[in-house]
Chains A and B, each alone.
Chain A
Amino acid sequence: MDSPRYPTDQEIWDLARSNGLDPFAITFENVPASVLYEIAAYLIPGRMAHWSYGKAYHAMKMRYDYGLNKLYEMVINANPAYAFLLASNSELENTFVRAHVMGHVDFFHHNHCFHHTGSDMVEVVSRHAERVRQYEFQVGHTAVEQFLDAVLSLQEHISLPAPSVRPRAVENHLRPQRGWSSADWGLQSPSDSIGERQVKPNTHEEEDLLRFIMVESHYLEDWERDVIEMVRQEMMYFWPQIRTKVMNEGWATYWHATLMRQLTFSDDDYIDYARLHSQVTAPLVYQVNPYALGYSVFQDLERRQGRDAIFLARTVDDDVSFVRNYLTEEVAEALHLFVYGADQDHVIVKSRQFELIRDQLVKELVHGGIPVIHVNDGDFNQRGELYLIHRHEGVDLDLPYAERTLRYVHRLWGRPVHLETRSSNKRLILSFDGHLDTKTVL
C-alpha cells in the first residue's frame, strides 16, 4: 500500500449497519479546539448563555491548553445526529472517533431512556437562547442571570415522563411544542384552582420540584416561568445521558473496538489505535472509568450470552440495572475495582469483595448520583410555605450547600421554604424565610 486509505463517513456508517447497529444519519463537522470545548461545556451548541457554562469552558480549555486532557469528539443526540471532531485529529484518530460515534448514535436511537428526547434539540435550545436574550433586553441582564442562577441550581430535580408504549415518531409528531401547551400549565379548567391542586401533607408527593415551582409559585412572573420551563426541557433531554453514562460509553467503546478490528490498517496505525484505546479505558483511581466498565461488561455479556443479549441490554437497561444485572465477579476483578472510603482524615481501601463493590456501584448510580428531593407540601403551615423532603438513602446531604441552595428555592417560591433531611441519623429541617437560615433538629 503506497498511501493508506481511510474509510469515509459513509463506509463506516455502512459497516456499523452491517454489524447490526442502527444509528441515525450523522453529520460530521471538523471544528477547532475552542469550538469543540465550547460545545462540550454547553453540551449542545447554541445554548443559552450563563456564566456557569463559561466556568466549565474555562476549566476544560485550560486542561487542553496544558496538554492534560484532550477531547476527540462531541456527539449531539439529534436526528440527524451531529458529531464534532477536533480539527487537529489525525486521519486515524478520526476513523477511531467515527467508529466510536456510531455506538453513541445507535444508543441514542435505541435505548429506552431516550424515547422522549426530541430529535430537534439543537433548534430547540437555539430558540431558548433567543428567548433568554429577549428577556435580557426586557428585564436586564443581571435579573436574568440571577434568576438562572436559582433555576440552574435546581435543574436536576425534575422527573421524566415514564417510558411510553407509543412509538417515538408519533409522539414527536403529536407534541411539537412541549411544555407550552396549556394543559401542562393546568390553566384551562376553572375548577383546577391553585389552592385545590396544592399538595397536602402526607398525601401525595410531587417528584418534579422544578415543575411544581413553575406551576404553583405565586411569586413568579411570566418570563420567569418560561425560563424555568426552558431549563426543564433541556434537562429532560440531558437526564437520559446522566442515567446511561456507563452504558453509553461502554457501548461506543465496544463498537469502536469491534469496527476497528474489521478495518485494515498499517502496523503503525494499529499501534496508534491501541494507544488510543488504552487511553480511553485507562483506570482512574477515585472513580470507575465508565468507558472501561461499560466496555468490559458488554464484552463479558456477549461472551456469556451472545450478541443478541448485548443488543437487548442496550435497548432496555439503564446504568443501574446494567451494573446490577450484568456485572460479574470476574469483570470486577479484571478491572481491579474496590470500595474505598474515609477513615478519619485518610482515604483507605475498604474492601474487594464483589457483592460490596457491585452494591456500592449501584448506589452511586441511582438517580445519577444526585439526591432525590420531593415536594411534600406547597401550603405548609397554611401559609403558602414550601416543604421539601430529601429521600435519605444512607448518605447525608452536603448541608452548607443545601442551605445555599435553599436560598435559591426561596428566590423562586417567594415564601419561606423548608427542607427535611437526615444528618448523622437525626431528622433535621433546614429553613430559609428570606432573611434567616434556621436549622431545627427533630
Chain B
Amino acid sequence: MALFVPDWSLERKGAKDQRRHLEKIREALRDRLPDLISDESIITSDGKHVLKVPLRSLEQYRFRFHSWQGDRVGQDQGGGRPGDVLGRIPQDGLSQKGDGGSGAPGEIPGIDYIEAEVSFEELAGLMFHELGLPYLKSKPLATLPVPALKFKDISPKGLMGNLDKRQSLKQNLIRNAVAGRAQVGGWKERDLRFKTWVDEPDPEDNAVIIAMRDISGSMGDFKKMMARTFAFWMLKFLRTQYEAVEVVFLVHHTQAREVTESEFFQLGESGGTKVSSVYQLCREVIDTRYRPEAWNIFPIHFSDGDNWSDADNRRTVDILESMLPGVNVFGYAEIREGGYTSTLMSAFSRLQHPRFKTVTITHRGDVYPALKAFFPREGA
C-alpha cells in the first residue's frame, strides 16, 4: 500500500462536462430572451453595463418529493422550542438568489442559481442573431460597401499633397491686397488652403426610424413601457446594421407633432385619437427630410388602436398606402391589455403589403416575437 502520486495533470473530464453544462445554460438563456429583453433595468440602462442575470443551473428532472410538504428532522444547538420560527420558505422565484442565502452549513434546500454575467453585447448578440433586414432597397452590389470619399471642403490645415493651389493663391492675393500690394508673393503659412474630404453618406448605410406614438388618454404605463422597449431594441438593432441611424419622434392624439426622445417616452396626455394626423406628419417628414432614394426608412407606430372614427381609419389607410413604396418596413404595433381587435387593426388587416407589418403586444413576452415579425431573418 504505497502512496502513489500519478500524473493527473491531463485529466479534464470535469472541466469538459462543466463547460457543456454552461453551454446548455446559454442555450436556456436564449429561451428566456423574450422575458429578459423586456426587463426594465436593461431598457433604462445606458446599454453598456454588464447585466447580472440569475440563472438556474440546469434542472435535472426526476421523480422527487414535494419540498415543503411533510415534516423533516433537523438539528440545532438545543434551544429551539416547538413553534419557534427557523426561517422562511424560499419562494420559487428570483427572490431567492445564490445558494440559499447565508453560507452557513445547513442551508435551506433551495433552488440552485448561478449568477451569470451577461454583457449587454452578448444579450443583444443572441437576440440580433435571430433578426434580419429583409427589405433592403435594391442597389447594385458593387457600389455597396465602398465608403465614398469626396473632397468637398477647404481647410487651413492639411496634408501638403492635398494643397489647393488656386485657393491658396487667392488667399495670398487677398492678404497682399489688404496690405496695399498688388502682387503675389511673400508666402506665409496661413495663406495655404487644403482640400479636405468628407465621408459622403452612402444612402445604403443610413437609416431613419420614425417612431410614432399615441399619447391619448387610453395609453397607460404598461403601453408606454412596451412601446419604449420595442423602440429601444429596434434602435439598437438598426444601429448594428447601419452606420448612422437617425430617429424622429412623433406623438399624436388628435393632432401630431414632433417631440424629443425623452418627451416621446414620457408624455401622457388626455384626449382622443386621430391616427391620420400622425401618418400625415410622417409623410411630410419623409418627403421633406428623408428622401426614400437616400434613406432606409423604418416608420413604426404604437397605439392601442382606439381611433376616432371609421372615416379616419380609411384616411389613415390611404396615407399609409401612399407611403409604403418608399419605406423599408412600416410597422404598426398595437399594444393593448384586452383581447378585442380594434377598428384600426381591422382596417389595416385588409391591407396586404409585404412591407407593412402589424403585431399585437399584450404582455412583455410579446416584444421579442414582434421584433422578429418586423425583422424576419431570411431563410429562417
Q: Which residues of A contact B (CB under 8 A)?
A: 9-10, 13, 25-32, 34-35, 37-38, 41-42, 49-55, 57-59, 61, 66, 68, 87, 145, 152-154, 156-157, 282-289, 292, 335-342, 345-352, 357, 360-361, 363-364, 369-371, 373, 390, 394-399, 401-402, 404-405, 407-408
Q: Judging by beta carbons under 8 Å apart, are B16 and A405 in contact?
A: no
Minimum distance in angstroms from A347 CB to a CB of chain B: 4
Q: Judging by beta carbons under 8 Å apart, are A153 and B61 in contact?
A: yes
Q: Judging by beta carbons under 8 Å apart, are A51 and B65 in contact?
A: no
Q: Judging by beta carbons under 8 Å apart, are A346 and B88 in contact?
A: yes
- In the bound assembly, the distance between CA atoms of A371 and B63 in angstroms comes to 7
Which A residues touch B199, using CB under 8 A?
none
Which B residues touch A282, using CB under 8 A?
105
Which A residues touch B145, using CB under 8 A?
none
Report B63-91 CB contacts with A as 1/0, cut-off 8 Å: 11111111111111110111111111101
Of the four ranges (under 10, 10 to 19, 20 to 34, 35 or more), the interface on chain B belongs to 35 or more
- Checking A25, A286, A408 against B106 with a beta-carbon cut-off of 8 angstroms, the contacting residue is A286
- In the bound assembly, the distance between CA atoms of A289 and B106 in angstroms comes to 9
Judge if B11 is at the interface, Cβ distance under 8 Å.
Answer: yes
Q: List 23 A-B contacts (CB under 8 A).
A: A29-B5, A34-B8, A42-B14, A51-B21, A54-B14, A54-B16, A55-B57, A57-B15, A61-B14, A152-B60, A283-B76, A286-B107, A340-B73, A341-B68, A345-B88, A346-B87, A347-B108, A350-B82, A357-B73, A395-B66, A396-B66, A401-B61, A408-B61
Q: Judging by beta carbons under 8 Å apart, are B73 and A337 in contact?
A: yes
A349-B61 contact given A9-B2, A398-B66, CB 8 Å threshold: no
Q: Judging by beta carbons under 8 Å apart, are B14 and A394 in contact?
A: no
Q: Judging by beta carbons under 8 Å apart, are A54 and B6 in contact?
A: no
Q: Judging by beta carbons under 8 Å apart, are A288 and B75 in contact?
A: yes
Q: Judging by beta carbons under 8 Å apart, are A10 and B1 in contact?
A: yes
A338-B57 contact given A34-B14, A347-B108, CB 8 Å threshold: no
- State the majority secondary structure of interface residues on B: loop
Q: Judging by beta carbons under 8 Å apart, are A28 and B4 in contact?
A: yes
- Checking B14, B16, B57, B77 against A37 with a beta-carbon cut-off of 8 angstroms, the contacting residue is B14
Judge if B24 is at the interface, Cβ distance under 8 Å.
Answer: yes
Q: Judging by beta carbons under 8 Å apart, are B74 and A286 in contact?
A: yes
Which A residues touch B24, using CB under 8 A?
51
Judge if B347 is at the interface, Cβ distance under 8 Å.
Answer: no
Judge if B20 is at the interface, Cβ distance under 8 Å.
Answer: yes
Report B1-36 CB contacts with A as 1/0, cut-off 8 Å: 111111010010111111111101000000000000
- In the bound assembly, the distance between CA atoms of A55 and B14 in angstroms comes to 9
> In B102-116, which residues have CB < 8 Å from any A CB?
103-109, 112
